[in-house]
Every structure is written in C-alpha cells, then in structure tokens.
C-alpha cells in the first residue's frame, strides 16, 4: 500500500517528470521542473502560444514549474491530494497508456537470460464522504508462481526496463492468465479494504444523523413536506453517504530476471 503522504507525492511527481523527459532539481519538498515541450503542451494550457510557435517556426520556450508538497506558502505551487495539478497529472498518466509491456535489460555477455512474467497493477482508492482520502496501491503478481508483492512499483523503478525483448532474453510462458491474475489482485485489494479502519464511515453516519435531526426539526409538524425538504435530505445523503471508489491507474506485463 502506498498511503500518499507528502513525501510519497513528492517522489511520484519526481518520477513522473523524469519519465516524461523533463529536467528536475529536487530540494527536499521543493521540485524545480523544466518542462519538456510535450509536457508543456499537456499541462500548461497554452494552445495559442504553441500554435504561434509552430506557425512561425519560433524558438520554443517550455515553462518552468516550482512545486512543493509542503503546506508552507511562498515556496511554490502547493501539491496535495485533491489539488488540481495532481489530478491533471493523473489524467496525463492515464492518457499515456493504461497498459505497457516492458522487459528487464539483460547482461549482453550472458548466453541466455530467463525472463519471468509479472503482472503489475496500480490502483487509486478513494474513501469518500464529507471528506475524501485517497490511497495508492501497487501490486505485482508473478504469473508463474502466483506470488504477490505489495508496493511493487518501488522495486520496478530500481530495474533497467526496456520496451523490446533483449536479444538474449527468453520469456517464460505464463501459467496464470493475466485476466485471472487481475482477478486475484482485485480480490486481494478487496480484502485489504474490508480489513481497513472504517471509523471515518461511522463518523460520517453520526454527522448525517445529526444533520437529519436538525432538518426534521425545521419541518416538524408539517405533514405534507415541500420539495425543498426532499432536496435537502438528498443533499445530506450525497454529502455524508460513505463510498469507496476503486480505479485502475495503470498496469502492465513485465518480464523480469
């Protein structure tokens, strides 16, 4: 499980910008990012600028960002769960592709290297009521043995991955079908959620009941309640009704040594 605290959000942003070809300088919670041309077009909302540059063959000047996961104002654009910039980056990640197939680079001096298939899936789970908490989960499942790893992303980023199979690599055929593997991962995530602390949902119900009593007080004695009562009652349900939303952020098949 990756409970996205400020340090982990900082790492996620750092990895995202490095992977998308941007220059990044990190100073503790502060990131100085020189965007690539592609990333400027994706997240800076400057379509007229880029149309002009392309029409005139002008010298492109991609934007720079100063991002911080600290709540101390003045250091840079503050990034936290729910912030527009982070949600925007999530959408870009999804746009770049929800599925990839990668291979671990093999030692060129070896005659043959066996590569084992792993299914990797990253989920975003949102616990929603009057407040929202989001958690990222990263799973890896060995499609040969069924062995499952949490926080799989942390181990992947330490490997040298390439988009094409190495010449001396031999990809072992999976025993567990990827679809079946996805079902196993989904079941494991469901179990984690069931066993999680759901005090937040109980607290939301208490708030809901309190607000409902106040609403009923104002309409006490009114037999034929007006439409506004039903509207306000529905609004309380939407605000305090506990919901858990699970979304696959991305995933892929990785052949690893």
- Identify the burial level of 224 via C-beta atoms within 10 angstroms of its C-beta, where 0-12 means exposed, 13-18 middle and 19 or more buried: exposed
Mean of all residue pLDDT scores within the chain: 88
Structure tokens at 133: 């908490």
Average the pLDDT over 140-144 and give the result.
96
- Cα 101 to Cα 191: distance, rounded to the nearest angstrom: 27
- Cα 113 to Cα 107: distance, rounded to the nearest angstrom: 8
Decide: 31 and 25 in contact? Cβ < 8 Å. yes
Strands (E), the chain: 23-27, 30-34, 64-68, 77-78, 99-104, 113-128, 132-142, 148-150, 161-162, 169-171, 243-256
Average the pLDDT over 140-168 and give the result.
91
pLDDT at residue 72 greater than cutoff 80: no
Residue 3 banded pLDDT, cuts 50, 70, 90: very low
Residue 254 banded pLDDT, cuts 50, 70, 90: very high
pLDDT at residue 101 greater than cutoff 60: yes
Average the pLDDT over 63-74 and give the result.
85
Count helices and strands (H / E) in the chain.
8, 11
Decide: 9 and 80 in contact? Cβ < 8 Å. yes
| Residues contacting 55, CB < 8 A, separation 6+ | none
Query: What are the contacts of 31-37 at 24+ separation with CB within 8 A?
Result: 31/65, 31/66, 31/67, 31/68, 31/76, 32/64, 32/65, 32/66, 33/64, 33/65, 33/66, 33/67, 34/62, 34/64, 35/62, 35/63, 35/64, 35/65, 36/62, 37/62
pLDDT at residue 219 greater than cutoff 50: yes
pLDDT of residue 97: 58
- Cα 175 to Cα 185: distance, rounded to the nearest angstrom: 16
Structure tokens at 36: 């690539």
- Phi/psi at 135 (5° precision): -135, 140
pTM: 0.62
- Cα 73 to Cα 23: distance, rounded to the nearest angstrom: 24
Domains of the chain by residue range: 6-95, 99-197+244-256, 199-241
Percent of all residues in the chain with a pLDDT value above 90, rounded to a whole number: 39
């Amino acid at each position: 499980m990756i409970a996205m605290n400020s340090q982990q959000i900082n790492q996620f942003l750092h990895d995202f910008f490095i992977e998308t070809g941007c220059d990044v300088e990190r100073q503790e919670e502060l990131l100085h990012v020189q965007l690539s041309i592609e990333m400027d077009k994706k997240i800076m909302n400057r379509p007229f600028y880029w149309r002009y540059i392309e029409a005139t063959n002008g010298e492109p000047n991609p934007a720079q960002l100063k991002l911080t996961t600290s709540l101390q104002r003045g250091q840079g654009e503050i990034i936290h769960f729910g912030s527009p910039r982070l949600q925007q980056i999530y959408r870009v990640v999804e746009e770049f592709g929800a599925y990839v197939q990668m291979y671990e680079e093999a030692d060129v001096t070896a005659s043959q290297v066996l590569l084992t298939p792993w299914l990797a899936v990253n989920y975003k789970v949102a616990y929603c009521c009057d407040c929202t908490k989001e958690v990222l989960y990263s799973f890896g499942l060995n499609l040969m043995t069924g062995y499952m790893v949490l926080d799989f992303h942390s181990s992947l980023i330490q490997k040298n991955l390439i988009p094409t199979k190495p010449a001396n690599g031999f990809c072992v055929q999976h025993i567990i079908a990827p679809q079946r593997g996805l079902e196993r991962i989904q079941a494991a995530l469901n179990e984690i959620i069931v066993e999680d602390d759901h005090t937040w949902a109980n607290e939301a119900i208490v708030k809901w009941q309190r607000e409902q009593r106040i609403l009923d007080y104002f309409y006490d004695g009114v037999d034929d309640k007006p439409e506004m009562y039903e509207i306000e009652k529905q609004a309380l349900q939407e605000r305090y009704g506990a919901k858990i939303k699970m979304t696959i952020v991305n995933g892929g098949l990785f052949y690893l040594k």
